[in-house]
């Protein structure tokens, strides 16, 4: 590193300090590695993929998303998904896929293969090289496409989807009591 | 003798004559047995030993008849290396098997009290190469089979006996050390020639348990190469647990006043009364006749107990086989089943005692699956040491979870659930390893390499 870069870094750090007023970092929001790829924050992990689409891939996916009016309610039954995002890049030749979920993504990959194989292949079958959700190599394939985020923030790193659902119910029940 | 009251015959579609008996046979009641671990000093001598012992390895042919003593053989990865298998074969094993159970302790949540550093010295070595297990219905049969095996072993100086672990039914009548009927529920395997009488479960595809057959996804799990080595084989989970029976009895007394309340709490933690009778079939009182009736004591699911008021979500039985429970996380129960053939060791603690006598007693947990490493990691992380899949945050299994004095146990109730706290670990891990149990022809193949 040369003098110029050192000065530049020191300047950035000073500006960052001033911007945050030196606010201490909360350990609850620390991120660690989620294993072979991806970041983990508390109970949650992130998965980011940028990958080539098959020639008709974007068109197929758009048809699916438009039919659903962009409403992916069905994903709720997985029970560990906090969010999912599909973005087409570079003139519809590439897909950016981002998701946040509880635990490790590979824990339930076998369950996806028997519970929702049609849905998995209908969507991800538009990716170049997708081996099929039932393929023994699907884990390695996903891992090979994964790009680890450089920074990641989630508001409640210790609340899983199941926790949020339960707390929502408890809150609703309490409100009902208060309004009696 | 065909156990008519237990099984009904169905078509045989898997090679029972090549699959080892221990995988399918039920233990006799009572059972007696021995697990022996051998070290390989010289590969040629070890192969000659295997070649001579193969005829004594019992196949699963007519597995529903468990009258004769049976002998089983399995290998650790260290053992397969010592046997100088071709590098392409060694390389083809799944990573978790190659690394071994201790090296995967983080993935298995085998930490703190259960960490490999705390294991018995014999499980910290890399010299456990071949496991030989014999089970029999009485000591005479056991000793006869053991003598035969030892006679073969003595001829080969390249194989050394490392350690021997005897096992017996802990408490007369097939009860485990905690005083509960043992080994009731095992998955039914499609094409195994006999079906159990659980009308709520369907047989599971053979490929989930035995290599060379299609699994639930219609595929094959990763298996070692070549196919003739893998076919009809399976992976074995071997874990030694030390059972803290006095601590269990003490916990019941601290948490519940009357004897009846203590028994109910114990039953709620397990999911069954001591007799084996499931709580959902007799919620208020044990029913010894039902508990002993193997045609009835496992014939249920949880579809009529979705709020867990009869069998709590957190009970050991419901965690290990959620049987049509509505779960917070989408899970295919049939992918996470294992065949369990665990056995007890050590003398029983006097009935109900709350004072530890310092003696070693517990369970050799032995289980089989074609993807045993993956399944054990799943079970340990999701169903044993977490409660998220049943919306119970980080509550752990009350029986085998790593509770460390901080455990909770939640009983659903009206208007509020009841929560027990301060639960210690009742079963501590003292060692463990993964083994590969080949088909009988594969042992021959290996001995002739």
Q: What's the pLDDT tens digit per position in B187-242? A: 999 999 887 667 888 899 999 999 999 999 999 999 999 999 999 999 999 999 99
Q: What ranges in B288-396 are assigned the alpha helix state H?
A: 288-292, 316-320, 372-378
The span from the first CA to the last CA of chain B, in angstroms, equals 38
Rounded Cα gap, residues A78 and B330, in angstroms: 5
Contact A78 B334 (CB under 8 A): no
B93, B109, B329: best mutation site toward chain A, by most A Cβ within 10 Å? B329
Average pLDDT over residues A107-112: 91
Pick from A43, A135, A162: CB nearest B391 = A162
For residue B354, count CB atoms less than 10 angstroms from its CB and return exposed for 0-12, middle for 13-18, buried for 19 or more: middle
SS3 of A64-111: the string is HHHHCCCCCHHHHHHCCEEEEEEEEECCCCEEEEEEEEECCHHHHHHH
* Residue B32 bridge partners (DSSP): B136, B168
Average pLDDT over residues B331-346: 94
Is the N-terminal amide bond of B226 cis, ω within 30° of 0?
A: yes
Report chain B residues whose CB lies below 8 A from the CB of A163.
388, 391, 393
Q: What is the mean pLDDT of chain A?
A: 93
Q: What's the pLDDT tens digit per position in B305-325? A: 999 999 999 999 999 999 999
Contact B330 A108 (CB under 8 A): yes
Q: What's the pLDDT tens digit per position in B374-418? A: 999 999 999 999 999 999 999 999 999 999 999 999 999 888 899
Min Cα–Cα distance to chain B from A97, Å:
21
Helix (H) or strand (E) holding B145: helix B139-154
Contact A102 B221 (CB under 8 A): no
Residue spans of beta strands (DSSP E) within B221-301: 234-243
Q: What confidence tier does B6 reach under pLDDT thresholds 50, 70, 90?
A: low
* CA dist B175 → A153, B29, B155, B168 (Å): 51, 10, 39, 11
Contact A134 B330 (CB under 8 A): no
Q: What's the pLDDT tens digit per position in A123-161? A: 999 999 999 999 989 999 999 999 999 999 999 999 999
Q: Please tell me which residue of chain A has the smallest CA distance to B379.
A: A107
Report chain A residues whose CB lies below 8 A from the CB of B331.
108, 111, 115
Contact B381 A107 (CB under 8 A): yes
Report chain B residues whose CB lies below 8 A from the CB of A117.
217
Q: What is the pLDDT of residue B395?
A: 98
Contact A163 B378 (CB under 8 A): no
């Amino acid at each position: 590193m040369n003098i110029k870069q050192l000065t530049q870094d020191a300047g950035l750090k000073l500006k960052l300090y001033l911007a945050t007023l030196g606010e201490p970092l909360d350990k609850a929001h620390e991120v660690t590695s989620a294993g072979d790829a991806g970041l983990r924050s508390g109970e949650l992990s992130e998965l980011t993929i940028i990958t080539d689409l098959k020639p008709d891939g974007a068109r197929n996916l758009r048809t699916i998303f438009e039919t659903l009016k962009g409403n992916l309610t069905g994903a709720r039954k997985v029970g560990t998904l906090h969010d999912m995002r599909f973005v087409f890049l570079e003139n519809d030749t590439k897909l950016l896929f981002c998701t946040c979920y509880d635990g490790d993504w590979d824990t339930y990959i076998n369950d996806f293969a028997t519970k929702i194989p049609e849905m998995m292949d209908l969507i991800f079958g538009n990716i170049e090289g997708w081996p099929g959700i039932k393929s023994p190599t699907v884990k390695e394939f996903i891992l090979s496409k994964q790009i680890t985020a450089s920074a990641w923030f989630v508001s409640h790193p210790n609340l899983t989807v199941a926790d949020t659902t339960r707390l929502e119910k408890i809150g609703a029940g309490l409100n009902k009591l208060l309004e009696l | 003798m065909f156990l008519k009251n237990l099984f009904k015959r169905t078509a045989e579609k898997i090679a029972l004559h090549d699959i080892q008996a221990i995988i399918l046979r039920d233990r006799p009641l009572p059972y007696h047995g021995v697990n022996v671990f051998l070290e390989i000093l010289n590969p040629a001598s070890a192969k000659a030993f295997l070649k001579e012992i193969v005829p004594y390895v019992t196949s699963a042919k007519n597995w529903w008849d468990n009258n004769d003593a049976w002998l089983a053989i399995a290998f650790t990865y260290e053992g397969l290396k010592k046997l100088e298998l071709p590098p392409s074969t060694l390389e083809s094993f799944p990573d978790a098997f190659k690394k071994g159970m201790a090296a995967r302790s983080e993935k298995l949540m085998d930490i703190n009290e259960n960490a490999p550093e705390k294991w018995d010295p014999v499980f910290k070595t890399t010299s456990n190469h071949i496991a030989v297990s014999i089970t029999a219905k009485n000591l005479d049969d056991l000793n006869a089979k053991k003598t035969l095996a030892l006679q073969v072993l003595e001829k080969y100086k390249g194989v050394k006996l490392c350690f021997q672990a005897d096992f017996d039914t802990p408490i007369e009548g097939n009860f485990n050390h905690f005083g509960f009927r043992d080994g009731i529920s095992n998955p039914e395997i499609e094409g195994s020639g006999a079906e159990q009488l659980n009308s709520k479960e369907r047989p599971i595809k053979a490929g989930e348990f035995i290599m060379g057959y299609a699994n639930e996804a219609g595929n094959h799990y990763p298996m070692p190469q070549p196919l003739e080595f893998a076919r009809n084989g399976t992976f074995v989970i071997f874990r030694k647990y030390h059972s803290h029976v006095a601590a269990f009895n003490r916990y019941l007394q601290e948490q519940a006043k009357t004897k009846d309340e203590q028994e109910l709490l114990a039953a709620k933690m397990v999911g069954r009364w001591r007799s084996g009778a499931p709580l959902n079939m007799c919620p208020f009182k044990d029913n010894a006749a039902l508990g002993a009736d193997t045609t009835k004591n496992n014939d249920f699911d949880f579809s009529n107990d979705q709020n867990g008021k009869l069998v709590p979500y957190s009970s050991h039985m419901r965690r290990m086989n959620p049987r049509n429970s509505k779960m917070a996380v989408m899970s295919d129960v049939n992918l996470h089943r294992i065949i369990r053939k665990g056995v007890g060791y050590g003398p029983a603690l006097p009935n109900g005692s709350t004072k530890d006598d310092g003696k070693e007693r517990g369970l050799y947990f032995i289980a089989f699956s074609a993807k045993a490493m993956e399944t054990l990691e799943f079970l340990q992380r999701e169903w044993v040491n977490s409660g998220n899949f049943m919306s119970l945050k980080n509550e752990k299994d009350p029986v085998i979870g790593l509770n460390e004095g901080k455990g909770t146990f939640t009983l659903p109730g009206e208007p509020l659930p009841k929560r027990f706290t301060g639960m210690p670990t009742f079963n501590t891990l003292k060692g463990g390893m993964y083994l590969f149990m080949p088909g009988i022809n594969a042992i021959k193949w290996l001995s002739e390499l």
